[in-house]
Structure 1
Amino acid sequence: MKFTDIFIKRPVLSTVLSLFILVMGIAAFFYLPVSQFPPITSTSIVVTTSYPGASPELVKGFITTPLSAAIGSAEGLDYMTSVSTAGLSSINAYISLNYDPNSALTNVSAAVNSVLNQLPSGIALPTIKKLTGDTFPILFLGFSSQSMTPTQISTYLTNVVIPELNSVQGISQLQVWGGQNYAMRIWLDPVRMANLNITPADVQAALKTNNVLSAAGQLQGKYDLINIVPTTDLQSADQFNDLVLKRIDNRLIRIRDVGRAELGAQSYTTAAIYNGAPAVFLTVRVSPSANPLTVVDGVRAMLPTIQKSFPAGLNVNVTYDATLYVRAAISDVIKTIFEAIFIVVIVTFLFLGSFRAIIVPVIAIPLSMVGVFFLMYLLGFTINLLTLLALVLAVGLVVDDAIVVLENIYRLMEEGAGPFEAALAGARQIAAPVILMTLTLVAVYLPIGFVSGVTGSLFTEFAFTLAASVVISGIVALTLSPMLTSRIITPATLHQPLAQKIDHLFSNLQGRYQSALHTALNFRSTILILAGIILVSCYFLFTMTAKELAPQEDQGSLKVAGTAPVSASLNYLKQYGPQITKIFQGMKETSASYLLYGFPSSNIVLGGTILKPWDERDTTEMELKSTLQKQVNKIAGLQSQVFENPSLPGTPYGPPVNFVLLSTGSYEELYDFAQTIIQSARKSGFFLAATTTLQFNNPQLNVVIDRAKASALGIDMNTINSALATLFGGNYVNFFSQQGYSYQVIPQAELVEYTNSLKDINNIYLDTATGEQVPLGSVISINYSTTPSELDQFQQRNAATIVGVTAPGVTLSEALTYLSDTAEQVLPKGITYDFGGASRQYVKEGNTLMYAFLLAIIVIFLFLAGQFESFRDPLIIMITVPMSICGALIPLFLGVATLNIYTQIGLITLIGLITKHGILMVDFANKLQLEEGLNKREAIEKAAAIRLRPVLMTTAAMVFGVIPLVYASGAGAVGRNGIGIVIAFGMTIGTCFTLFMVPTLYMYINRVKQEVVKEEGSSPGLSS
C-alpha cells in the first residue's frame, strides 16, 4: 500500500495531522463530565397507601391486591413486589432499565387512578414516588444539638434547609432520617373519658368542627379591599387543651379534662445515632443523569452559607459520602495509567536499546490516549471508572502498531537500506497487516454494542473507548511513525552498543526459535493433539470456575440490618442497637458509625460503619464483613445481616442473596418450605446468615364483636371502628398552622398506659341509641393470635423471600445454585421460585457477555475470511484464541479471581490481542510463498522467525502494561485485578502457544490461491 508514502515525503502534513488529533483531544477533555459509571437509568415506582389500624390481611386483600392488578399491566414494568403490613401497603414497581422514568410514572399513576374507587373509604390517598438512580443516598448530613430536640431539628430541616439545598442541580431527593416533623398530639385517657361520658367520637367531632381553616373572603369598599380573616383554627397546645368537647350539666368538658395536648412528633418509632450520640440525618439522592461528584461538591459548597442562619447550638457534619470512594477509585486508575505508561516505555527501550528509537512508538501513547477524548465527546461518553480502565489497557495496545511499523523499518535498515528507503518500503509492507490488526480489535468490541441490560450499558463505553484509541493508534502508526523513523533512526542508531547487544540477543533467540520450530513441525500431529486437549480443557475450566456478576469492591463502608420481632418498640431497638455501635467502635478500621432506629420499618435498626481510608488500613471490606457478621450474630435480640454497597449501579441495596418462593396457596405452607430450605442452607457452609421475610411472630389482638348485642344497643360497626382507630390508630384528623407551616393533628390514647396495656380496652365507652354510654367490653370479646408480620407478594403471587449473606469465598452463583437445587428437591407442585434484588440481576445478566464473546469470535472469523479471501487462514490465525483463553482461565480456576463481567471483558479483549500475532505470521508467510517461491514449511518457518521480535515486543508491552492492574489495591481494585490477571496470563500463555500452534496448523490447512493472484495481479492476504 503506497498511501503511506505521502506522509513520509511530506513530514509537515503528518505532523499537522497528529497535532490536530492532539489539540482536538485536549479541547474535548475539558467538556467531558466525570462520573463513577456510564449513565444508567434505573427506576422504581413506589406506591404507598396508609390504612391506619388495618391488619396485614385486610391491607393485602382490599388495597394491595387491586392496586397490584392494575399496576401489573403498566407499560415498561420489569417486575413488581409488594409488602402488606399493619396499616400500610407498599408496592414497588421495578421499571425496565433505561425506560423513560417520567413515562413510567405516568403509566403507574394512571393504573392507580383507575382503581381508586375500589379501595376502602377510610384510606389515605395512595402516594406515588419515582425513585431513579441508586436506591441508597450518596450523602448523609448529620445534624445534632444540645438544645434542640430531634423533632425540632427535623422540622427545621424540612422547612428551611431542604428548600435551600434543592437549588443544587442534580438532586433527586432530600429526605430526613431519624427525626419527625411536628404534630399536635392529643393524648387521651380512656378512664377519664369514661368518667366524664366522653367518647372517641366526641373528640373526633370537636377537632373537625372547631379547628377549621377559613377563607372568608374580602370586604369590598369603594376604593379598597380588606381581607376577612376569622380565627377559626387552633395554633397552639394551650388552645387545643381548651377546646370544648361537650357541655354536661352546665359544665364544659375540655380536652385538658380527658387528656392533654402537646406539640410533639408525628411518630415515635424512629431515631438516629452518630458516633454514639443522638442526631438527625439529611440524606441526598442524585438523579441518574446527574454527576454525583458535582452534586456533592455543590451541597458541600452550600453548607457554610446555610450554617450562618442555623439556630444557636445546631451543628452539622458530613456523616457519609459515597463519592469519596469514587474519587479515590478514579485517582487510583489515573495513577495506574501513568504507571502503565512508564512500564511500557521501559519495556520498549529494553527491546530496542535506543532512546531515539523508542520515541517513535512512545509518542503514539499521548496522541492516542488524548485524541480519544475527542471521539468520546462526539459519542457522548463520560470520564468514568470504565473508560479510564479502557485507557489503562490502551497503553499497551496503542504502542503495538507503532512497534510493528518501527520493527519492520528497523529490520530493513539492518539489511542495508537507507532510512528513507527503509521507511517507504517498510511502511508499504506492513500497512495492510496494521490496518487489519486495528480493524480486528475494533471488530472484537462491536458485539458489546448489542448487549442489553446493565452489562451492555456499562461496557459499551469501555469497549468503544478502547476501540477508538486503537483506531487513532493505527492512524498514527501509518502516518507519523514511518516519517519519524525515517528522520530519527540513522545508521548510527543501529550501531549503539546497547542496541547491538539487544540485536545480537534477538538474533540468537531467533535462531534458536527457528531451530525449535523446525523440530516441532516434525511432530505436527502431537502438537495438534495437544491443541485439542487444551481446547477441551477450556470447557472444564470454564464450568468449574467460580462465577458472579461483579466482584465486591472495597467501597469503604459496611451496613448491618438488625431485625427485631415485629411488635418491638423503639425502646426495644434502643436496648440492642448500642451493641452494634459498640462492635463498630471496637473495630480499629472504623472511622465513624451511625444507627437508624425504625428504618426502613419500625422493627429494624440499620447500622453503618465508615471505614478509614484505604491506605490507612490493611484489612479489606470483604474480610471485615465476615468478622462483623460473626459478631452481630451474637446479639440475641436481633437477627442481623451484614451487607455492603452494590458494586454495580441499578442494583437494589440489601443482602445479596434474594431467593423468592412463590405460591397461590397459603402463607403457612410457604413458611414451612422456606424454613426447610433455610435449615439446609445454614448447614451447607455457603452462608454466614440466612432468614426469611415471612415470620409468624406478629402478636394480634382479635376483637370479636357481638353484633346482636351491638345492634340491640344501637351501636353500629363504624362507631366501634372509629373509637378503636381514634385511640389506637394514630391517624391524623386534620391540620393546624404554626409560623406559616401546617402540621398534623393526631388524637391517640396515652402511649405508655394504653397502647402497651390493651387489656384496658374495656375502658372505652360508646354512645348507645338512647344516649346512654356502655363500655366496649360489653359488646366484644378478646382473644390473641400470632400472624405474619408482613404479607409479601412477588409478581402478584404470595411470596416468602429468603435473604442471606454468603460465607467467605462463596460466590453469589454458588449460593443461588445451592438454593435452586434444594428447592427443586423439596418444593411440591404449585410452589415455584424466582429471584429478586442483586440475585435477579445476576441471573438475568450473569452470562450476557459470554454471548458477546461467542459473537466476537464469529465476527472476527468472518472479517478475517473476507480480508484473506479464505476460510482456511482465519482458522489458522484463530487457533491461538482457545490457547490464550485456557491460559486466562487457569488463575480463575485456581481462585485468584472469579469469572465476572470484568474478567469476561478481559477474555473478549484477548480475542483481538492474540489474533494480531497470527495475522503477522500468516500474512507474511503467504507473501513469502508468492514472492520468493518458498514452500509452506519454508515460508512459515521464515515468517515466524522474522515476526518473532514484534510478537514478543507487543506481548511484553501489553503484559507489562497491565501489571499495575494485577497489583492494584485500594478503591475499586478488585475489578482491575481481575481484568489484569486475565490479560497477563492469557497473553503470556497464548503467545507461547502461538509460536508453535500457528505454524503447525498452517502446515496442515494453508493453501495459497496462486491462480487467483495471477489473474488479478494481487497477492492473497493483505500484503502489497
Structure 2
Amino acid sequence: QEIEALRPFLPEGTDLRTSYDVSTFIKSAISEVYTTLAIAASLVILVIWVFLGDLRATLIPALTVPISLIAACLAILGFDFSINLLTLLAMVLAIGLVVDDTIVVVENIHHHLDQGKPPLLAAWDGIREVGFAVVATTLVLVATFVPIVFLPGTVGQFFREYAITLTAAVIFSSVVALTLAPALCSKLLRQHNTNNPQGGVSRLLHPVERAYGWSLGHALHHRWLAILIIAASFYGIWQAWQYIPRTLMPTEDRGSIFVLVRGQEGASAQAMQKSMLEVEQKLQPWLQKSGVESTLLRSPGWGTQGDNSGFMILGLKPWDQREKHASELVGEMRRLFGGIPDVNVIPILRSAIRAGSRTPVEFVIGGADYDQLEQWAAIIMERAEENPGLRDLDIDFKRNQPQIKAEFDRERAAALGVSAQALGETMEIMLAGEAVSQFMERGRQYDVWIKGIEEQLTNPDDLARLQIRSSTTGELIPLANLVTFRTVGEAARLPHYNRTRTITISGGLSDDYTLGEAIDYLDKLAAELLPAEAVIDYQGESLDYKTDSASIELVFLFALIVVYLVLAAQFESFINPLIVMLTVPLGLAGGLIGILYTGDSLNIYSQLALIMLIGLVSKNGILIVEFANQLRDRGLAFEEAIIQASERRLRPILMTALTTVLGSLPLILATGAGAESRQSIGVVVFSGIAFATVLTLLVTPLTYNLMARYTRSPQQISQQLDEQKESYEKD
C-alpha cells in the first residue's frame, strides 16, 4: 500500500518493484500452520468419539479446544504478542494437550454412569475422584513450560511467546475440566443401561484391561524389572546423545538463497561489477530449470563489506511448485561456481533467528598482537581445511590490501626546516581535504574545502612530486627529499571483539555436517594447537549455539527440579513424586530414538520438545499413583490397589496418549514453508509419548510396588485429623 501511494510522485520513467519479500515465507508458513491446526483438531475429536462411542460425551471435550484456544488468544493479546509462527505452533500442540484433562474427567464420569448412577451423581463422584489428578497434571505441565519463559538470549526471545501461549491454554483447559465439563456431563449425558453400558472402542477394551491386570499381577512379583527398564532407558539416552548431530536450527527452506561474492583485496568496484555479471551469466542456464523465479544482484555488498564484495538474493518458486529443497539447490550452486576466477562465491541459507547474510561458523581467536594472531589463525586454518565438513573457510584479517607506506626522514627534515606536523597537514589537505572557510547562500551555510586533484595523486611517484615549504628558508622542497613512499600489503581493517584484538575464522557447512560438530572440531583444534593465552570466542550463529545450548540444558534441569517439588507439594510425599518422575527417562529415550530414526538433529526445537516431555509423560504416572493412593485409603490391599488403579486408568491413559500422538502427527507430516521446525517438535513428541506410554503402564506399577509400600497418601493424614477431632469432641 505504501509503495502504491508513492507511485504518483515518482519521476517519469521510474518504477518501484518488490525485489525480495520476507513476508512470502511468513505468510506461507502461517497458512501451513492453520492447515495443521485444523487437521490436529479433527484427529483429536475423532479419537474421543471412537473411544467413547457417544456423540454427547464427545462434544464436551471437543468444546475444550475452542475455549482453550480463545483463552490462548486472550493471553497473546494481554501480553501484547502477535499471531505468528510460534504462537500458532503453540496452539497446534495445545490441541492435543488441552483435551487431556477433560478426557480424564468425562471418561471417569462415563465409568460411573456405566455403574447405573444418575448423571448428576455420576458427575459429582467422577470429578471428586479425578480432581486431584487434574490439578496435579496441570501444575506439572505449567511447571514445565514456565522455565522456558526465562530462557536468556536469542532463544529466550524466540520461545517466550510460545511458552506463555501454551501455558495459558493448558491452565484454561484445566479450569474447563474442573468446572464446565462435569456441569455439562450432568446435563447432557444419560444414565446408562448396566446390561449394555458402553459403546465405541471402550467395549472392546474390557478384554484388554483384564489381560493387562492379569499380566500386571504376575509382573508385580518381578518388581526389579522396572529398575532394569529405567536403567536401559538411561543407557539409551547416553548412547543416543553420542550419535545425534547437534545444531542451533534445522536447515530451513525459507524460499530464498543468499549468495556472498568476495573479490580479491583491492579490487575496484568496476572489477567487481564485471565479476558479478560473470557469476550471473554462469547461473543463468541453471536458474531456468532449478525453481528460481527472481534474482537480485548488488555490487558492492551491504554494509561495510567493501568495494571488493557482491551480494545476490535468489527468490525461489513457491514450495508446492518445485521438487527440490533449498539445501539441494545450494549444493548444486557450489559445483557451478568452481570455475569463476578472482572471486569466491558462497551460497548460504538465511538463519531463522539471525537477520543478515553471515556464514554459520564464526570462530574467534583473540590475543595480544596481530602478528601472533595471524600465526595462530594460519595453524587452525591449515588443519580446518582438511575437514570436508567445513566449506568456504576464510578469515577477516589479510595483509593483502595495497597500501602506500610513508617513511619520514626526521633528521633531514629538521635540517631543511620541515616539521612532522607540517608534513602531516600537507598530506591531509592533498589526500583527504580540509574545510578552510564557509560562505552563505540563500540563507544556508556551506563549507569550503580544498583538496588535491585525485587524478594527479594515483601512485607513489605522484606523491613524491608534492612540495612543502621550509619554515627556515621559505623554499619549496619536494617530498621525495624527505619521504620514501613504497607500496605494501596490509590488512583492510584491524578487527576487535569484546575489546580484544581478534581474527575470526568463518565458513559454511556441508550438507551432512552440523554446526555442533563444526564448533566441537574447532574447539578441539584450538585446545591441541594453540597456547593457553589464546582467547577463544564465537560470533553470530556459532555464539547463539554455544550460549543457548547451555541455557537450554540449565532450563531442562530446572524444569525437572520444579516439577518434582510441585508433585511433592501435591502428594505431600517425596516418594510418590519420585515414582512419577522415573517415567521421564522413558519419554526422553523415546524422543531421542525418534530423532535417530528420522535422521534429524538435536536443535532448539527438538530440545524444547524434550523439555515438554517432562510434563507430558508424567501425566500417566500421576493418574496411576494418585488412584492407587485412593484405593488404599478405601481399604484395599496394597497389591490389589496397584492392579485395580492401573487397570482402571488404562483407558484414559490410552485416550490422552493417542490424542497427543495424533495431535503431533500433522507436525511430522508437515510440508512447505517452516516444515522443518514443526517436524523437529512433532517427531520428539510423537516418539516420546508413544514409547513412554507403553513402558509407563508397566514401570509405574512396578516402581510403586517397589518404593511406595510403606508410604501414606495425603488423604490418610486428613482421615487421621478427622478421627482425632471426633475423639476430642466426644471427650
Give yes or no for TM over 0.5: yes
User: Which amino acid is 2:344 matched to?
Assistant: Q
- Give the distance between the partners of 1:554 and 1:779, measured in 2 at CA: 61
> For each residue in 1:745-781, what CA deviation from the matched residue of structure 2 results, as whole angstroms up to 9, or x when unmatched?
7766666x54554434344344556665454334433
Cα offset for 1:593? 1.9
1:687 and 1:743 mapped to 2: Cα distance?
53
- The equivalent residue for 2:538 is 835
- Counterparts of 1:627 and 1:740 in 2: how far apart (Å)? 60
Q: Which has the higher contact order (CA 8 A, sep 6+)?
A: 2
Whether the aligned pair in 1 keeps the contact of 2:143 and 2:559 (CA below 8 Å) is yes
Whole-angstrom CA distance in 1 between matches of 2:614 and 2:588: 8
Establish whether residue 643 from structure 1 lines up as the match of residue 348 from structure 2.
Answer: yes
CA 1:568–1:847 in structure 2 vs 1: closer, same or farther (change >3 Å)?
Answer: same
**Is the 8 Å Cα contact of residues 653 and 837 (structure 1) preserved in structure 2?**
no
Write the distance in 2 (CA, Å) between the matches of 1:748 and 1:494.
104
Amino acid at match of 2:562: V
- When residues 960 and 735 of structure 1 are mapped into structure 2, their CA distance, relative to the original with a 3 A threshold, is farther
Write out per-residue CA displacement over residues 581-609 of structure 1, whole angstroms, 9 at most, x where no aligned residue: 23554332222222322333222222222
Cα separation, partners in 2 of 1:705 and 1:926, compared to 1, 3 Å: closer
Q: How does 1:525-564 map to 2 (within 5 A)?
A: 525-564=224-263
Instruction: For 2:2 and 2:438, locate their aligned partners in 1 and report how far apart those are by CA, in whole Å.
Output: 32
Preserved CA contact (<8 Å) 1:597 1:606:
yes
Equivalent residue number for residue 637 of structure 2? 935
Q: Is the 8 A contact 2:272 2:307 kept in 1?
A: no
- Structure 2 residue matching 1:444: 3-state secondary structure: helix
Q: Secondary structure at the match of 2:672?
A: coil
Is 1:663 aligned with 2:367?
A: yes
SS at match of 2:224: helix
In 2, Cα distance between the equivalents of 1:787 and 1:577?
25
Q: What's the CA shift for 1:959? A: 0.5
Q: 2:56 aligns with which of 345, 356, 361?
A: 356
Give the direction of change, closer, same or farther, for the CA distance of 1:875–1:709 in structure 2 (3 Å limit).
closer
Q: Residue 624 of structure 2 aligns to which amino acid in structure 1?
A: M
| Aligned partner letter, 1:398 | V
User: Structure 1: any 5+ residue segments left out of the alignment?
Assistant: 1-300, 1019-1024
Number of residue-to-residue matches in the alignment: 713
Q: After superposition, what is the alpha-carbon deviation per residue over 1:210-251, rounded to whole angstroms, capped at 9, x for unaligned? A: xxxxxxxxxxxxxxxxxxxxxxxxxxxxxxxxxxxxxxxxxx
Per-residue deviation at 1:462? 1.7
Residue 1009 (structure 1) aligned to one of 692, 696, 712: 712
**Structure 1 segment 646-795 matched on structure 2, within 5 A:** 646-648=351-353, 653-665=357-369, 667-711=370-414, 713-729=416-432, 754=456, 756-767=458-469, 773-795=476-498
In 2: Cα distance, 1:413 partner to 1:943 partner:
18
**Of residues 995, 1001, 1009 in structure 1, which corresponds to 2:697?**
995
Which shows bigger deviation, 517-526 or 762-771? 762-771
Q: How does 1:862-877 map to 2 (within 5 A)?
A: 862-877=565-580
Q: Secondary structure at the match of 1:791?
A: coil
CA displacement, residues 300-350 of structure 1 (integer Å, 9 cap, x when unaligned): x22223221211111111212222222222222222211211111122222
How far apart, in 1, do the equivalents of 2:592 and 2:450 lie? 67
CA-to-partner distance for each residue in 1:461-502, whole Å, 9 max, x for gaps? 2222212111111111122212222333335799999x6352
**Structure 2 counterpart of 1:986:** 688
Superposed CA deviations along residues 915-943 of structure 1, whole A, max 9, x for unmatched, are 11111111111222221x32222111111
| Residue matched to 1:291 | none
Paired with 1:680 and 1:736, the residues of 2 have a C-alpha distance of 61
Pairwise CA distance, 1:726: 4.3
CA distance in 1, matches of 2:628, 2:613: 23
Give the match for residue 513 of structure 1.
Answer: 212
1:793–1:799 contact (8 Å) kept in structure 2: yes
Q: Which of 523, 542, 555 is equivalent to 2:222?
A: 523
Describe the shift of the 1:408–1:740 C-alpha distance in structure 2 as closer, same or farther (beyond 3 A): farther
Contact 2:297/2:311 (<8 A) preserved = yes
1:568, CA displacement in angstroms? Answer: 1.1
Structure 1 residues 732 and 842: CA distance shift in structure 2, 3 A: farther
Q: Deviations over 1:652-697 (max 9, x none)?
A: 65111111111113x2222222122112112112212211111121
Pairing 1:378-457 to 2, within 5 Å after superposition: 378-457=78-157
Task: State the match for 2:589 in structure 1.
Answer: 886
User: Would you say the 8 A contact 2:435–2:449 is kept in 1?
Assistant: yes
1:577 and 2:276 correspond: yes
Say which of 826, 843, 851 aligns to 2:529. Answer: 826
2:580 is aligned with what amino acid? I
**TM-score of the pair, normalised by structure 1:** 0.66
> Paired residue for 1:606?
311
Judge conservation of contact 1:365–1:398 (CA < 8 Å) in 2: yes
Letter in 2 for 1:790: R
1:32-47 correspondence runs (5 A): none
Contact 1:552 1:647 in 2 (8 A): no
Would you say the 8 A contact 2:54–2:200 is kept in 1?
no
Equivalent residues of 2:237, 2:589 under 8 A apart: yes
Paired amino acid for 1:533: A
Q: 1:619 to 1:757 in 2, by over 3 A?
A: same
State how far apart, in whole Å, the 1-side matches of 2:56 and 2:416 are: 108
Aligned partners of 2:435 and 2:450 also within 8 Å: yes
| Bigger proportion of residues as strand | 1
Q: Distance in 2 between matches of 1:733 and 1:617?
A: 62
Q: TM-score, normalised by structure 2?
A: 0.91
From 622, 625, 632, the equivalent of 2:330 is 625
Unaligned runs of 5+ in 2: 724-731
What is the distance in 2 between the residues matched to 1:1012 and 1:389?
43
Partner residue in 2 for 1:474: 174
More helix by share: 2
Letter in 2 for 1:698: Q
For residues 905-924 of structure 1, the aligned pairs below 5 Å read 905-924=608-627
Q: Which residue matches 1:856?
A: 559
Distance 1:833 1:371, change over 3 A: closer
**1:968 aligned residue:** 670
Contact kept in structure 2, 1:548 and 1:846, CA below 8 Å = no
The 1-side partners of 2:23 and 2:439 are apart by 40
Partner residue in 1 for 2:45 = 345
Say whether the 8 Å CA contact 2:584–2:614 is kept in structure 1: yes
Question: What is the DSSP-based 3-state SS (H/G/I as helix, E as strand, rest coil) of the residue aligned with 1:388?
Answer: helix
Give the equivalent residue in structure 2 for 1:210.
none
Please report the RMSD computed on the Cα atoms of aligned residues, expressed in angstroms: 2.8
Deviations 1:691-720 (A, max 9, x none): 111112122332334445545554444554
Q: CA deviation at 1:739?
A: 10
Deviations 1:423-463 (A, max 9, x none): 22212212221122112211222323443222333323222
Residue 246 of structure 2 aligns to a residue in which SS? coil
Q: How far apart, CA to CA, are the structure 2 residues paired with 1:642 and 1:433?
A: 54
> Is contact 1:580–1:607 with CA below 8 Å preserved after alignment?
no
Q: Could you say which residue in structure 2 is the equivalent of 1:950?
A: 652
1 CA distance for matches of 2:30 and 2:337? 33
Matched residues in 2 for 1:845 and 1:744: separation?
51
Matched-pair contact (CA < 8 Å) for 2:116–2:192: no
Give how far 1:870 is off: 1.6
Distance in 2 of aligned mates of 1:413 and 1:801: 70
Matches within 5 A, 1:104-503: 301-491=1-191, 500=199, 502-503=201-202
